[in-house]
Chains A and B, each alone.
Chain A
Amino acid sequence: NAGVTQTPKFQVLKTGQSMTLQCAQDMNHEYMSWYRQDPGMGLRLIHYSVGAGITDQGEVPNGYNVSRSTTEDFPLRLLSAAPSQTSVYFCASSYSTGQAFFGQGTRLTVV
């Protein structure tokens, strides 16, 4: 039972580069979300989805795009990486009960 799988685990980007963080879940959860964790700030919601084809912005969406073409996958795209996007990114999935299951995280450094 894989749960929530994130790839890659680590990534270094140059300013201006683009990339996609992958997230897949095998629990048939309807809700999927992306968070970033920065020191002293807890986890902040970037984007979330309540089902395939439906996405919405969270607290800190600027500079990020998402799409949800299937129930299982919810990729996060950085269009033009900036040093301020250096962070640890977590993907999560849940049923409507609210308890979210998190992936292991992707540590991204933008230089």
Chain B
Amino acid sequence: DQQVKQNSPSLSVQEGRISILNCDYTNSMFDYFLWYKKYPAEGPTFLISISSIKDKNEDGRFTVFLNKSAKHLSLHIVPSQPGDSAVYFCAASESRSYGKLTFGQGTILTVHP
């Protein structure tokens, strides 16, 4: 029972264009969502988060959108850079259970120069 799903295993984008990574969830108790970036042989690093009371959060080139009715969130990277090439994980938690993150399977993003 996969409560957080990233249905695209991989995404290839040209440098300078927009990258859009998608994530769906099924558990309506999730109210805090995060995106992590992971390079090979390293631990995941936090990128951006959003609370369920918002529908958008922006941090520099990264924007996360949350559509609660559709149980869908997306991460937009504009403009994409070759250094953004990594695995991106979507994660979710319930506010009463911080420290317990449920992750999606990950999407491999490749940004071509």
| A and B found bound together | yes
Q: Which residues of A contact B6 (CB under 8 A)?
A: 42
Q: Are A31 and B99 in contact (CB under 8 A)?
A: yes
Instruction: Given A98-B49, A102-B45, verify A40-B105 contact (CB < 8 Å).
Output: yes
Q: How far is the CA of A103 from the CA of B43 in the complex (A)?
A: 5
Q: Which residues of A contact B102 (CB under 8 A)?
A: 45, 59
Quick one: which of A35, A44, A99 contacts B46, CB cutoff 8 A? A99
Q: How far is the CA of A102 from the CA of B101 in the complex (A)?
A: 12
A58 at the interface (CB under 8 A from B): yes
A25 at the interface (CB under 8 A from B): no
Smallest beta-carbon distance B38→chain A, Å: 9
Instruction: Given A33-B99, A42-B103, verify A99-B43 contact (CB < 8 Å).
Output: no
Residue ID in chain B nearest A96 by CB atoms:
B98
A86 at the interface (CB under 8 A from B): no
Q: Are B99 and A32 in contact (CB under 8 A)?
A: yes
Interface size class of B (residues with CB under 8 A): 20 to 34
B65 at the interface (CB under 8 A from A): no
Q: Are B43 and A90 in contact (CB under 8 A)?
A: yes
Q: Which residues of A contact B101 (CB under 8 A)?
A: 33, 35, 43, 45, 92, 98, 100
Residue ID in chain B nearest A58 by CB atoms:
B100
A105 at the interface (CB under 8 A from B): yes
Instruction: Given A42-B103, A43-B103, A44-B103, verify A102-B98 contact (CB < 8 Å).
Output: no
Q: How far is the CA of A33 from the CA of B46 in the complex (A)?
A: 15
A4 at the interface (CB under 8 A from B): yes
Smallest beta-carbon distance A46→chain B, Å: 11
Q: How far is the CA of A96 from the CA of B93 in the complex (A)?
A: 11
Task: Mark B residues whose CB is within 8 Å of A.
Answer: 4, 6, 9, 32, 34, 36, 41-46, 49, 89, 91, 93, 95, 98-106
List 5 A-B residue pairs with CB atoms under 8 Å apart, sorted by A's residue number. Answer: A4-B43, A43-B44, A48-B100, A49-B99, A104-B41
